[in-house]
Structure 1
Amino acid sequence: MKYINKYDVNISKIGLGTGRFGTRIDEEKSFEMLDLFIAGGGNLLDTARNYYEWVENGRGVSEKTIGKWIASRKIRNKVYISTKGGVRNQGKNFIINLEKSNLVDEFKESQDALMSKTIDFYLLHRDEPQRPVGEIMETLQIICEQGNVRGLGVCNWSPERIVSANLYANKHGYRPLTLIQTWWSIAAYTETMWNDSTTTHMDKDTYDYILKNNLVCMAYTSQAKGFFQKAIAEGLENLDNFLKHRIATEVNVRRLNYIKEYCEENSLSPTAVVNGYITSNEIDGIALVSCSSINQLNDILENCDSDIDSEFINYIDRIN
């Protein structure tokens, strides 16, 4: 396992996405996957207050499952928890509310569900562009006082809003945003991939800002829904229609062909290359992975140490 040394701790460069834990993945299997992840050297668990809120009694269940697992294993000091707030769901429609009382209440709910005063990394899940960044940053300072927060961040914020928020924080002596969570993978992004206008993806402005300011990027959907692994293993023509429609663009097919050649020449698995694109990157990248099976998680853990050279990463980025 590779690690980032930030916040006076070593954080695994593979973070386990736990959105389905306790709902689509039952508690027993969730515990088994969490045990395996820790045994494999991982220590970062990523969740959110609203994950699977669109299923019956789903709100907060992922956090509760993590909290129960940590309590049963008595290893709170060996894991780092990242959770997110500020969003509610009606079906799969997002209702964003970054008002102070709402965020403070949600943060307390997360603490209770996780059974931990400490929330290592707290992020806002979406932006509310009409709300002034000053008001939002002031609320985040209150949250830091309410819990032991190592790092503050945002998910799905534009680079312009991130810059404005940190300028305000620096001016007023507040804790800045140091974690950025966005869609980032070895795949070239297309608008149809997520089909959600409230999400963001890695772009040049965001990348340059993260690099210049030595921030950490948590890459969600870091494996591009398994597109490259499945296409290499099963053949592009055998992929399901979801992957074909959303990811099998001309650009990504060209990237696929180059990835396949690189894997063969360097005796690497596609998983090692896909995740290594994030974990070997010039910026401090954490690949957030969500797995539906033990086999998938084993594949990731068995291939998480490979160093992918910068020449390959730069070449992939130029395939457009």
Structure 2
Amino acid sequence: MEYIQIAGCRKPVSRLMKGTDYFSHDSYELVQKNMDAFITIGGNSLDTANIYCGGQSEEVIGRYLEDRGNREQLVILTKGAHHDQNGPRLSKKDIAYDLSLSLERLRTNYIDLYALHRDDPNTPVEHIIDALNEYIEAGTVQAIGTSNWTWQRIQEANDYAQREGLTGFTFNSPNLSLAKVNEPFWKDCVSSDEETCKWHEEVQMPLLSWSSQARGFFTGLFTPENRENADLVRVFYSDANWERLRRAKQLGTEKGLTAIQIALAYVINQPFPTCALIGARSEAELSSCNEGAIIKLTKAEMDWLDLTAD
């Protein structure tokens, strides 16, 4: 397993991050099995959020950490300040409420990586950075980041932090995958376009990609004729993505790998630090991801996969 460093976080972060949006009390035996297997291959980072599974994701992680006694071995990325039925929730009060609830559920006194789940352009970045720095100073949060923010807003926030001698955002968690989205998977979600990737390369900010394997688009289970999964059709079905899939299959055949492993390698081989959030629930899926994460792709191969070169 390879690891990256994220400024502020005291532990190295495994490049495969365990997705936990399916963690529930009813699936606790599966959670234990999945987490133990993930740790066995060297994984130490996991992604959760205040809203996942109605809060059960964080609760189950806390239960697991207490049962195994391994809190200090793991890096927890959790997210708060998600909007609700009334709209955006990025006030100091909202952040405080969600963070307090996450700490209680996770049965811990600190969060390694804390991200704001959604943005609200009407909330000044000054207010947000000021609020988050209180938790950094208190030791409640080690590193702050964003999920589903544009790079322009992140830069604006970090410019303010630098001017004021405060801690800015040190990681970003949008979607990044070989398959490019036609539209957001969920409302207000952000996927990395060419401009976003260029910015990440310039500033070398770590990117932690959700839906890193395009929600199964590269598994071989989908074809242009198979339109049963309405969300996948809406978000990923396009002529360009079918060509990316064809090329991933071709390159995979040449290397003795699968298309989905090539798709994962595409995320890992970016010219800036990346982690890939994975949803592996079986030993076979985990093994596939583990093999995909160590594949080295050349720039020429990356460009060819991404249709920027013939």
Give the TM-score, by structure 1 length.
0.89
User: Matched residues in 2 for 1:318 and 1:295: separation?
Assistant: 30
Residue correspondence of structure 1 range 80-159 to structure 2 within 5 A: 80-90=75-85, 95-159=87-151
Structure 1 residue 96: Cα displacement: 2.3
Distance in 1, matches of 2:73 and 2:13, equals 10
Determine whether 1:78 maps to 2:73: yes
Contact 1:107–1:143 under 8 Å retained in 2: no
1:284 aligns with 273
244 and 103 in structure 1: CA distance in 2 versus 1, 3 angstrom threshold: closer
Provide the residue aligned with 1:55 in structure 2: none
In structure 2, relative to structure 1, the CA distance for the partners of 1:291 and 1:164 (3 Å cut) is same
Counterpart CA distance in 1 for 2:99 and 2:259 is: 38
Query: Contact (CA 8 Å) 2:50, 2:80: kept in 1 or not?
Result: yes
Q: 1:167 aligns with which of 156, 159, 167?
A: 159
> 1:116 & 1:177 partners in 2: Cα distance?
22
- Which whole-Å deviations, capped at 9, do the CAs of 1:147-193 have from their partners, x for residues lacking one? 442321011111221111011000001101111111110102211x5
CA distance in structure 1 between the partners assigned to 2:226 and 2:95 by the alignment: 45
In 2, the alpha carbon distance for the partners of 1:186 and 1:49 equals 28
Aligned to 2:170: 178
Q: CA deviation at 1:309?
A: 2.2
Contact 1:255 1:319 in 2 (8 A): no
Runs of 5+ in structure 1 lacking a partner? 53-57
CA distance in 2 between partners of 1:272 and 1:241 (Å): 22
| Letter paired with 1:172 | E
Q: Secondary structure at the match of 1:117?
A: coil
Q: Name the one with the larger strand percent.
A: 1
Q: Deviations over 1:64-113 (max 9, x none)?
A: 111111111111111100000101545xxx84211112211211111111
Partner SS state of residue 116, structure 1: coil
Counterpart Cα distance in 1 of 2:106 and 2:167? 23
CA contact (8 A) 1:50 1:88 kept: no
2:174 alignment partner, SS class = strand
Q: Which residue of 2 aligns with 1:3?
A: 3
The question of whether the paired residues in 2 share the 8 Å contact of 1:153 and 1:179 is answered with yes
1:318 lines up with 2:302 in the alignment: no
Name the residue aligned to 2:205.
Answer: 215
Structure 2: which amino acid aligns with 1:84? K
Q: Which residue of 2 aligns with 1:19?
A: 21
* Matching residue's letter, 2:270: N
Matching of residues 292-307 of structure 1 within 5 Å = 292-307=281-296
Tell me, yes or no, if the aligned pair for 1:37 and 1:301 is still in contact at 8 Å.
no
- Tell me if the contact between 2:249 and 2:258 (Cα under 8 Å) persists in the aligned partners: no
Unaligned runs of 5+ in 2: none
Identity rate of aligned residues, in percent?
Answer: 29
Task: Name the amino acid aligned to 1:3.
Answer: Y
Of residues 55, 61, 66, the one that matches 2:61 is 66
Pairs within 5 Å for 1:211-250? 211-231=201-221, 237-238=225-226, 240-242=228-230, 243-250=232-239
Please report the TM-score for the alignment, with normalisation by the length of structure 2: 0.91
Q: What one-letter code is carried by the residue in structure 2 that aligns with 1:83?
A: T
Q: Secondary structure at the match of 2:111?
A: coil
* 1:131–1:6 CA distance, 2 compared to 1 (3 A): closer
Supply the AA of the counterpart residue of 2:299.
Answer: S
Corresponding residue of 2:244:
255
Deviation at 1:248, TM superposition (A): 2.4
CA contact (8 A) 2:244 2:307 kept: no
- Partner letter of residue 153 of structure 2? R
